[in-house]
Amino acid sequence: MSKPVVAIVGRPNVGKSTLFNRLAGGLVAIVENRPGVTRDRLYRDSEWLGRKFTIIDTGGIEFVNENTPISAQMRRQAEIAIEEADVIVFVIDAQISPTPDDDMIAQTLRRSGKPVILAANKVENFAKTELYEFYNLGLGEPVPISAVHGMNIGDLLDEVVAHFPENIEEEVDPDTIRIAVVGRPNVGKSSLVNTLLGEERVIVSNIPGTTRDAIDSAFEHDGKHYIIIDTAGMRRKGRIEELTEQYSVSRSLRAVDRSDVILMLLDAGEGVTEQDKKIAGYAHEAGKGIVLVVNKWDLIEKDDKTMNRFEKDIREELGFMQYAPTLFISAKTGQRVTKLLDLVDFVAEQNSTRVATATLNTLVREWVHLNPPPTDKGRRLKVLYATQVGVKPPTFVFFVNDHELMHFSYRRYLENQLRASFGFEGSPIRMIVRQKD
Ligand code: GDP
Ligand code: GDP
């Protein structure tokens, strides 16, 4: 297994090579300022918390044609980082506002889908420095550091290491949607996986070595790639004899962690059980896309109101999951099973929707104007600025004058407005409230 690669990118003079030297931990720095000296790409090995990794300072990459404009050079450096790195550290200068070049680099990095840690360098006063402008880069929360003084470098490395792939060989193409099929024993997980795989072009079944308690199969549908994680598959293979309820819950939770979209199977004859609630709650917290699949629909005697009644019961039992679409299927007869993948695609897309900051703020101003926050002891909440800092799930930061004035009901109002405007169907959303003083 090769070592994870960490690339440092950023504009000239933000402190990349200073940071590189810090991270390379005491190794002699190669700092070549003389013009005309060709130097190699700068690679160094380092280690943090027992994890070994390789660092590249993309700022050290020399361009053969000296006339290449700086912005083209930076773009190329970012592209090299994207090609080569498992984790990218994007360094910006916290002492000045983001520049157009910062925006350009951020945009290139965002499109790559690679984990990016935003390092706000040259922070002198950690208590006072205001970093909210940098949320605008759409790369999540900036980590304040001082490369020159070696401040907060440990926190930065914690973030970097946390994004290392568990096992590099397990990496799959980012366009592949991973689907976990979860639910109680006997709800029909195996039957559903068999029905689905029976209809699609299976590329690899029983992919080994991922986890020992589920079976993964890769398949293709309409030119798109999927991996289905089948928690019942081991039993089907005769490798597990008996399933305790407890064991099946923990297997489901692990499958949830590894997936993009959860197919939460419910038994039409039994409704929502405590175990179902536990797994659904976990998927919600984990920010995953989710579809509530009511199976064994063929066994239910129905009239024209049955589906609505079921739907209402489910909504009551899973109150925190109003956003999840429901589908009534029969894994046995195949009824509506073909619709499942369309719903999976839709939910996966909703779960990774990104809203432009300008659009968001225009709407937020409108929402606040339509329904101003109530006053509390003579003080009123002011929403200053909002920005989306992440996807999977869509995560928003609201900067306010005083976070204590953000009451549950107003938060709920803003969430409802976000959903009314952007959907996010089948996806949890996160809202972080930050006080700006
Ligand atoms: P790069 O070539 O763009 O990666 O940037 P350098 O590492 O060469 O640093 C550019 C300048 O910023 C140098 O003068 C550094 O001393 C300075 N610098 C780097 N890190 C910090 C920091 O944490 N605080 C301050 N105040 N200056 C820094
Ligand atoms: P698992 O434990 O969740 O994997 O459930 P299985 O797929 O093994 O199914 C448990 C039982 O329910 C089996 O006897 C299946 O034939 C039956 N079953 C599964 N899906 C359906 C369905 O849609 N309709 C009916 N009538 N039976 C089903």
pLDDT digits (tens, 9 = 90+) for 17-26: 889 888 876 4
pTM of the complete model:
0.61
- Residue to probe by mutation, ligand 2, list 191, 196, 242, most atoms within 8 Å of CB: 191
* CA dihedral angle for residue 362, residue 363, residue 364, residue 366, rounded to 10 degrees: 90
Contact predicate 109/82, CB 8 Å: yes
- Range with lowest mean pLDDT among 23-27, 213-217, 303-307: 23-27
Domains and CATH numbers, the chain: 5-163 (3.40.50.300), 177-351 (3.40.50.300), 357-435 (3.30.300.20)
Confidence at 318, pLDDT banded by 50, 70, 90? very high
- Tens of pLDDT along 221-261? 988 999 998 876 555 444 444 344 555 666 777 788 889 99
- Range with lowest mean pLDDT among 227-241, 268-282, 391-405: 227-241
CA 299 to chain centre: 38
Assess whether the C-beta atom of 18 lies below 6 angstroms from ligand 1: yes
Joined tokens for residue 158:
């914690």
Query: Exposure string (b/e) for 398-428, b if CB count within 10 Å is 16 or more?
Result: bbbeeeebbeeebeebbbebbeeebebbbbb
Confidence at 70, pLDDT banded by 50, 70, 90? confident
Per-residue pLDDT at 75 exceeds 50: yes
Confidence at 49, pLDDT banded by 50, 70, 90? confident
Residue 40 is predicted with a pLDDT of 36
Q: Whose alpha carbon is nearest atom 6 of ligand 1?
A: 15
CA distance 25 to 45: 9
Q: What is the mean pLDDT of residues 354-377?
A: 90
Q: 333 in helix, strand or coil?
A: coil
Does the interface ipTM go beyond 0.90?
no
Longest dimension (CA), the chain: 83
Q: 327 in helix, strand or coil?
A: strand
Among all bound ligands, the one having the nearest atom to the CA of 122 is: 1
- Residue to probe by mutation, ligand 2, list 181, 182, 184, 186, most atoms within 8 Å of CB: 186
Among all bound ligands, the one having the nearest atom to the CA of 119 is: 1
Residue ranges of the annotated binding site for GTP are 10-17, 57-61, 121-124, 183-190, 230-234, 295-298
Q: What is the mean pLDDT of residues 85-91?
A: 94
Q: Using the mean position of ligand 1's atoms as its centre, give its distance from the Cα of residue 26 in Å.
A: 17
Confidence at 216, pLDDT banded by 50, 70, 90? confident
Q: What is the mean pLDDT of residues 281-310?
A: 94
Over the chain, what is the mean pLDDT?
A: 84
Q: Whose alpha carbon is nearest atom 7 of ligand 1?
A: 15
Q: What is the mean pLDDT of residues 177-198?
A: 90
Assess whether the C-beta atom of 187 lies below 6 angstroms from ligand 2: yes
Q: What is the mean pLDDT of residues 126-136?
A: 88
Residue 234 is predicted with a pLDDT of 52
Q: How many CB atoms lie within 10 A of CB 152?
A: 18
Place of tokens 């306010």: 400
Q: Using the mean position of ligand 1's atoms as its centre, give its distance from the Cα of residue 23 in Å.
A: 14
Per-residue pLDDT at 71 exceeds 60: yes
Joined tokens for residue 315:
């909504």
Among all bound ligands, the one having the nearest atom to the CA of 296 is: 2
Residue 120 is predicted with a pLDDT of 97
Place of tokens 């959303």: 429
